[in-house]
Structure 1
Amino acid sequence: MVCQLMKKKTEHLKLILRKAFLLRNFRPILSFCSAMSIEVEEIVEEAKTLTIIQEGKAKVGFHGPVFYNPVQEFNRDLTVTVLRQFAADRVEDAKSKEESPNEPPQKRKKVDEKSDGSIRILDALSASGLRALRFALEVPFVDKVTANDFSDNAVESIKENIKLNGVEDKVNVMFGDAIMTMMHHRGLDKRFHAVDLDPYGSASVFLDSAVQCVADRGILMVTCTDMAVLCGNTPESCYNKYDAVTTRVKCCHEVALRILLRSIESHANRYTRYIEPLVSISIDFYVRVFVRVHTGAKKAKDSGSKVGTALVCSGCHSMEIVPMLRKIIDGNSVKFSTPVLKHSMTGADDKCVHCGNSIHQIGPMYLDPIHSKPFVSSLLQRLNSTPAEERLGTHSRLLGVLTTVNEELEVPLYYEHDQLANVVKISVPKAVNIRSAILNAGYKVSGSHCNPRALKTDAPLTFLWDLYRQVAKDTNVDREKRLDPLSAGYRILGHEIKNTVDFKLNSQAVSQAKKENLVRFQCNKGKNWGPRQKAKGSINSTQAGFQVSEVK
């Protein structure tokens, strides 16, 4: 009994010493221990080997190797920003309901709600608990954060970090497989308002349980770092994980986002649920999506009309979108039918009409807008109104990326303007000249946060190729001398120019983010780039539910 009591006191003293070591002020405690004849050499040495890292308002301690990637700070800062806005919107909704007490009652039982609109958050794959701690410390109106992990060491580390940050009243720890934890909370009275999935690699195995444990109008936040799979290096793996195929195209990062969104909605549809994308980001070495999950069989039926495939030419890289379903509204009648195939890109020989090369089909993928412009505008307003002393570590980059996202045209996929120029072997014209010509012709154009050379437009391919034919004509490009007769560019330049192309500078051709000199794209080189090596002791996500472990 005495030994157990001493052990508890020693553990408590270790925690105090770790906090003191963080503050570089542990001499008074050592004097106290000496006066009480407490042996502290071992405790002091352990406290000194503790590595403390602070990000935002949260501190995390690591014994031995540190599983922390500073490049991912942007991911966590973006998540905190989105959750702040999500929580604020919920509080406003709660206030509006109090002011309108005569509204008809809901037919279905909802998740147990507090009248103040506070939220419950699940950090399903918590590791060190850094995300959960930041949510508790930096996001307002948080009722409870649950940090879950299937590693014994991770759970013990999270417990220590909770005490280190003094958030015992807000953060609770769960040991368990993330899928099992989420399934345990699929009941309407147990669901979370926000669920964060940030796995090592693909999140595909967690999506089915995740869409079931999010409350109605709750938010699901998903990261995937398996970009080689999502960007077309291994189409067979992409099919196994996301039920879609893709190939290596210049817009592969947006394709990755749309494949992931379609996969999430497909899982949600099985439970008469559907998603509303709020922000979808492809950045650094991962994709990150924030979607609101809704419930409703009627709206869930619309999901088929949001999905489709894309035809991609292997020669000139031309693309065409092919929807999966067509929605027909006739008065009060709503019907769905398969679309009639009228490919403008394929000729009688099923080859590309522009260059005569073979065409591939990729998808299915999500075709509707992948961002909510009102929500993104709210995020920007929140960032701009944040006092300098309260700004997050990646504040300037958040502003730049979200401003670029807010300017994106709501059309699927994009080209690279220099890629199209290279097809016809001309000197790459300035991006502002290409954008001006598109705008002067009456079409819309924008960039993309995915790629600094992106050309996102609603202009038809016939006009785009006429644009580059006009550049070739103005620069006296001789296709007979410069191009191989069998090449895609040779055939494209052989077509007659049918559209009027005007390269006069258009004032709208320069993006607002560039005008304000915002940080839009970060150099993808340097220390800590890419996902860190998987933590030792981690269990493969597909096997986690079949493991046996004991935690005291």
Structure 2
Amino acid sequence: MLIASLRRISLNYCPRLLQRARYTMSSTENGQTEIDVSQYNTVTEGKATILFPKNNEVFYNPVQEFNRDMSIAAITTWSEIYFQEQRERLERKRANKAKKAAETGQEASVDDKPHHSLSRSDFTILEALAATGLRSVRYAKEIPNVKRIVANDLLEDAVLSIKRNTKFNEISEDLLHANQGDALGVMYNARGAAEKFDVIDLDPYGTAAPFIDGAVQAVTSGGLLCVTCTDLAVLTGSMYPETCFSKYGGMPLRGMYCHEMALRLVLNTIQTSAARYGRYIEPLASCSIDFYVRLFIRVYDSPAEVKKSASKIGMVYDCNGCNAFVTQPLSKLHVKDNGASRYTPGTGPTVNTNCENCQQNHRIGGPTWVAPIHNKDFVSKMLQHVNDHEEKFGTSDRMKGMLSVINEELDQPFYWTLGNLCGTLHCNSIPMVDLCSAILNAGYKFSSTHCQPEGIKTDAPASVMWDIMKGWVKKYPVTMKNIGELSPARKILAQPAKFEADFTRHQDAIPPSRHIKLVRYQVNPTPNWGPKARAGKPKKEAKPQESKKRKL
């Protein structure tokens, strides 16, 4: 439960904090600035404790502890993979040199460096919009092998807060540097630097779209982008689809799978921006969480791979009546027997003018990312890291649940929901296990989705899904007199099923994550639910009112 994830947050003074306060006050004799703890609320999360200003110069949202926990686990897992890749690359380089020396009869040069120094063992992080600095403080204290963190914010009050919390948590300025500046300016300045940032974290108030262009240029090849967008109403098409297009370059589709569509729209935006600079992305984990999306993405240099991006981006056709969906990639990749590749425009349209199931017309969404949105090897390692270090994370139960569900997801775009399937036909609700058994018995795959508790991913086409539902309606008939003549239900049920659905319980109909009783989905909202208001200016003391009496 989310309430359980907030247990570690303390708004009272604890002995450890008082000890730190005494330490700070005593050190003022050496010229350091005294911190008056009484002017702040103290907030403890993970290994970090921040001084949260009572006058609201910057804001803190405890609900996003899960976001920060997931980020720490993701960055740590990425760093282990990154260092291993560096070691393997240098080992191959050394082996090639030895082989070349043997072929030429020369004596191979001896590497006098120890084995552990053959590759990099540390990395840098940029938090572009740091606010209080809580995230950066946690990164400094909880992620190993961090060389330097730049916590940037445009507001002077925020930068002062970062410096104050850095000192309060006894972190050196060499490790955590507070920087005041425009986030885009910091990232654009890093483009031509000798060393770009290895990890860039974008967690803005609202959309991350304005910062993506700078981020994809400022991160090192093989580095990690961590991106949050909280404007979910725009990304899911709940309001102003034209605004979504202006920000993300794609039209959203409101309805059944809107939360996955939101993830894919952001991925498309990042890939499109990266491609301009000869770079491509690899989504590691794309998470729909509460009121926002959080994506962990690797960025690489490779003009050859950039050419494949058009085959990973496509349009979505969604039926207005029954929500049957079909994707259409913008390009096709043809690989010849000799390994050479050739690209051609995609062929289509992939649907008729009217839906073959209910005869309604289609909506068009996108362009959007239609390739896989997770790297299952990465998710497995991240899940293992959480299992091995669950005491580090206040939201470890929920982390394990979400990562387990993500690890089970099929690499299929979008999903169905029980509410849509049964609501379209106006029939009795079908149990999830019966529907999944019928899909498996028909020879197709299925999985749940982390985006929706009642969501079902499957490689079965829409016609198969509706034939299964016809079999359910055959067992539990629908009262047709209550259904309109032009209703999608009447059109679908009027067509005979092409096969007899088998609802016999299948041994794989219940996913493993459900067997072990994990916290798979968010529970009821708490008082801290939803995005906080923007940080306001410090409250000024009210001036005494002047006397209205005229002086004589």
Given candidates 58, 64, 70, the residue that maps to 1:78 is 70
Matched, 1:87 2:64: no
- Is the deviation greater in 326-335 or in 400-409? 326-335
Q: Distance in 2 between matches of 1:326 and 1:425?
A: 39
- Whether the 8 Å contact between 1:121 and 1:146 is mirrored in structure 2 is yes
Distance 1:489 1:99, change over 3 A: same
Q: Tell me the amino acid that sits aligned with residue 198 of structure 1.
A: D
- Offset of 1:165 from its aligned partner? 1.0
Matched, 1:431 2:425: no
Query: Which residue of structure 2 aligns with residue 269 of structure 1?
Result: 275
Distance 1:329 1:32, change over 3 A: closer
Given candidates 22, 29, 41, the residue that maps to 2:17 is 22
Q: Residue 282 of structure 2: SS of its match in structure 1?
A: strand
Query: Which residue of structure 2 aligns with residue 378 of structure 1?
Result: 381
Within-5 A mapping of 1:78-157 = 78-102=70-94, 115-157=119-161
Q: Identity of counterpart residues, as a percentage?
A: 38
Q: Tell me the amino acid that sits aligned with residue 261 of structure 1.
A: L
Q: Distance in 2 between matches of 1:141 and 1:248?
A: 43
Distance 1:30 1:253, change over 3 A: closer
Query: Which residue of structure 2 aligns with residue 189 of structure 1?
Result: 194
- Whether the 8 Å contact between 2:427 and 2:477 is mirrored in structure 1 is no
Matched, 1:471 2:472: yes
Given candidates 256, 260, 266, the residue that maps to 1:260 is 266
Q: Tell me the amino acid that sits aligned with residue 522 of structure 1.
A: Q
Distance 1:182 1:494, change over 3 A: same
- Whether the 8 Å contact between 1:94 and 1:117 is mirrored in structure 2 is no
Query: Which residue of structure 1 aligns with residue 533 of structure 2?
Result: 533
Taking structure 2 as the reference length, what is the TM-score of the superposition? 0.86
Distance 1:250 1:83, change over 3 A: same
- Offset of 1:421 from its aligned partner? 1.1
Matched, 1:161 2:162: no
- Is the deviation greater in 321-330 or in 253-262? 321-330
- Offset of 1:56 from its aligned partner? 0.6
Q: Distance in 1 between matches of 2:130 and 2:385?
A: 27
Q: Distance in 1 between matches of 2:437 and 2:278?
A: 45
Considering only aligned residues, what root-mean-square deviation do their CA atoms show, in Å? 2.5
- Offset of 1:374 from its aligned partner? 0.3
- Is the deviation greater in 333-342 or in 183-192? 333-342
- Whether the 8 Å contact between 2:199 and 2:223 is mirrored in structure 1 is yes
Q: Tell me the amino acid that sits aligned with residue 317 of structure 1.
A: N
Q: Distance in 2 between matches of 1:433 and 1:492?
A: 20
- Offset of 1:49 from its aligned partner? 2.2
Once the two structures are superposed, residues 363-401 of structure 1 have per-residue CA deviations (whole angstroms, 9 ceiling, x without a partner) of 011011100000001011112222x6x331000100000
- RCO higher in 1 or 2 (8 Å CA, sep ≥ 6)? 2
Q: Distance in 1 between matches of 2:525 and 2:440?
A: 35
Query: Which residue of structure 1 aligns with residue 215 of structure 2?
Result: 210
Q: Tell me the amino acid that sits aligned with residue 210 of structure 1.
A: A
Q: Tell me the amino acid that sits aligned with residue 80 of structure 1.
A: I
Once the two structures are superposed, residues 248-269 of structure 1 have per-residue CA deviations (whole angstroms, 9 ceiling, x without a partner) of 1211000000000010000000
- Whether the 8 Å contact between 1:151 and 1:537 is mirrored in structure 2 is no
Query: Which residue of structure 2 aligns with residue 541 of structure 1?
Result: none
Within-5 A mapping of 1:129-528 = 129-168=133-172, 169-187=174-192, 189-232=194-237, 233-331=239-337, 332-343=339-350, 345-346=351-352, 350-386=353-389, 390-479=391-480, 481-528=481-528
Distance 1:242 1:160, change over 3 A: same
- Whether the 8 Å contact between 1:21 and 1:47 is mirrored in structure 2 is no
- Whether the 8 Å contact between 2:90 and 2:118 is mirrored in structure 1 is no
Q: Distance in 2 between matches of 1:28 and 1:320?
A: 63
Distance 1:328 1:30, change over 3 A: closer
- Offset of 1:90 from its aligned partner? 2.4
- Is the deviation greater in 169-178 or in 63-72? 63-72
Once the two structures are superposed, residues 157-198 of structure 1 have per-residue CA deviations (whole angstroms, 9 ceiling, x without a partner) of 101111111111310111100000000001251301000000
- Whether the 8 Å contact between 1:201 and 1:226 is mirrored in structure 2 is yes
- Whether the 8 Å contact between 1:71 and 1:528 is mirrored in structure 2 is yes
Distance 1:103 1:263, change over 3 A: farther
- Offset of 1:101 from its aligned partner? 4.4
- Whether the 8 Å contact between 1:425 and 1:482 is mirrored in structure 2 is no
- Offset of 1:63 from its aligned partner? 2.4
Q: Distance in 2 between matches of 1:412 and 1:302?
A: 18
Q: Tell me the amino acid that sits aligned with residue 482 of structure 2.
A: R
- Whether the 8 Å contact between 1:306 and 1:368 is mirrored in structure 2 is yes
- Is the deviation greater in 523-532 or in 256-265? 523-532
Once the two structures are superposed, residues 316-346 of structure 1 have per-residue CA deviations (whole angstroms, 9 ceiling, x without a partner) of 1111111111111223432111122152x42
- Whether the 8 Å contact between 1:305 and 1:325 is mirrored in structure 2 is yes
- Offset of 1:64 from its aligned partner? 1.6
Taking structure 1 as the reference length, what is the TM-score of the superposition? 0.86
Q: Distance in 1 between matches of 2:83 and 2:475?
A: 59
Matched, 1:48 2:38: yes
Q: Residue 310 of structure 1: SS of its match in structure 2?
A: strand
Q: Distance in 2 between matches of 1:32 and 1:408?
A: 54
- Offset of 1:98 from its aligned partner? 5.0
Q: Tell me the amino acid that sits aligned with residue 371 of structure 1.
A: H
Once the two structures are superposed, residues 401-460 of structure 1 have per-residue CA deviations (whole angstroms, 9 ceiling, x without a partner) of 000000001000011022111111110110110000000111000110000000110001
- Whether the 8 Å contact between 2:63 and 2:529 is mirrored in structure 1 is yes
Q: Residue 265 of structure 1: SS of its match in structure 2?
A: helix
